[in-house]
Chains A and B, each alone.
Chain A
Amino acid sequence: MQDNSPRSFAERPVVAPATTQDALQAAPHLATAPPAGSDRRVVDAIREIVGPRGIVDGASARKVYECDGYTLEKSVPRLVVLPATTEETSRVVSVLAGAGIPFVPRGAGTGVSGGCLPLQSAVMIGTSRLRRIRSIDVEARTAEVEAGVVNLEVSRAVDAHGLYYAPDPSSQSACSIGGNVAENSGGPHTLKYGVTVNHVLALEVVLPDGRVIWLDREYDAPGYDLVGIFTGSEGTLGLVTAARVRLMRKPESVTTLLAVFPGVAQASRAVSAIIAAGIIPAALEMMDALVIEAVEAAYHFGFPAGAGAVLLIELDGIAAGLDALAARVHDCCTREGASEVKRAAGEEERALLWKSRKRAFGAMGRLAPAYCTQDGVVPRSRLPEIVAKIAEVASRYHLRIANLMHAGDGNIHPLVLYDEDVPGEVERVLAAGNEILTACIELGGSITGEHGIGIEKMALMPKSFTAPTLAAMEDIRTAFNPRGLCNPGKILPSSRTCVEVRRPRPRGGG
């Protein structure tokens, strides 16, 4: 585990590497196709379009692309293409569509549900060379950026104008805007400001037949909200090449509080109390004892020893009234049993608190050789119940589960710690994760708040949606992607293009 990795956990959990070989034995459909040798003409045509820099065809170079942050399943793409412009992307997709070859879009590879895993010998199209910020309109507060632009680069580019791009996934220093659109990414500050879909005005996309089209809802454009349906479609409806995004004016004032609780039960009651009091913080995050322990061991932030849970609460807005709001939040926490509520004294302390949160994933390596991140949502008032359920599941499966959550949204991230060398442990990890997500559904929630379905959670879709609803989703895919060539085998288990994905056997497992 690299503590200084800029990619924090949420988007890059380091899950128990069953080896690729093991994975392939268990899941032969993932076997690497011969590197397009049989499609020589197609490769030549693509090389002609993107030039030598835009082709990755060596075996070891391609291996880099075998998975995203979801590492339980891997597949080396037969070919990786890195177009540098929308036009190149369009021409590449046209060639592939003409040859009937499936393809899978990939951003920065920070996804955590296997959304860009190449199945069915798909060719991978990476957006890493689509890196231009095409325009910034300060007065209208919009920017047009290409898909490969890193999330944080957008905010940096407009910082001098007092603006920023609001969605801030933990991986924001690595993840790309195109990937954010595909996954409808969230982040700690989505509680008040919404997720990616709330910040995208228009999308330039390459459809699965190679046509370039703008989906546009700016100026209250009439028509179905195709930007809304495309955002979060996990690369199954087409490939984003650019997005026009909304920029936000930085709030006049920000204050961050840290509340320490004896346990997660009290902390989650405080979350409910804050929301019920009509306060909408900019962020409301929870870390439990295990996470605190890991963070302390790694960074020594000075969290009180023996804290059962902490809430990180950020309030923003106009300066007037922020003190009063902070006092109310303080009261809510104290009433629910907080032993201590600290307010960051300045920007430095505030930054330190956020560092502890954003690096928490990286710190988990202190506690176990590997961990598996789950992503589920419950109605905010049911947090105490899901927290109790997680503890019960952990004890029944003899696993340690740490809890990191976007508590204000009811978005939980249980981190199931394990050791792949312990026989049977991976199976127990997967079963425990399944139980927790099923409990989320039963509590009226969702199986994913921000990580997506990908291949990881396809099997849970029928538990989440009725058959007619899944059929309606299938209709959407067919309308955009009639031949199923774009990112086959994802999201919908019923898909005719879907192949059965089996779990690899863990090393040493039974």
Chain B
Amino acid sequence: MKALVTVKRVIDPYVKVRVRADGLDVEKNDVKMAMNPFCENALEEALRWKDNGVVTEVVAMSAGGADTAETLRMALAMGADRAILVNTEMLPVPLIAAKLIAAVARREKPEVIWMGKQAADGDFNQTGQMVAALLGWGQGLFLSAATLEDGTVSADSEVDNGIVNVRIKLPCVLTADLRLNQPRYATLPNIMKARRKPMEELTAADLGVDLSPRLKVLRVSEPPPRPSGRKVADAQELVRVLREEAKVLS
């Protein structure tokens, strides 16, 4: 069975972002980029399913500019068998990304699509759900565990008040939470090997997906700063300032 895994190229989530001078985006020039952490968990899980023999082929895909190929090479170095790059100048919003992914899925016919539950840049937490809707497939979201049993996936979904266990028919879309697994590192020999793995390039037009904007960014701004705080000497002083200055304790 084939697994399609989506990987997004984002600003390294440990880098502090700065708003660009024109106020329409954050600065992306000379900024360290990385694979979105949740996508790493998704890829790792697909690779483990391959290690266990339940998956025979792992296909990684991404959409974006030419530098997105670098993120796909990383996916190949981690162990994906081949990659599909959808060349788009703009990073698509979730609905358009979902349409690109669904179109690739219709060509590739995977039985499972593994995705990160959200991307550390846009923080939308939508694309997996939208892919599942467009394909008419079941969705397993924010997963901390997933096992394949008799053509269904038993999935633990991390929700507001605990964990919900659902059984999802194949084919389906699964989105990974950080606690699903610990992603592997790409070793140097595997990075070398990845250079020879196939990477297919497609355009949105090849896939019949309309890239017209759905969302117009009017402004990107810094969040209002919090007034600077101060250190207190001990527990007694802390309780006193919380009662008398901040008035948050009675």
Whether A associates with B in a native complex is no
Report A's interface with B, CB cutoff 8 A: none
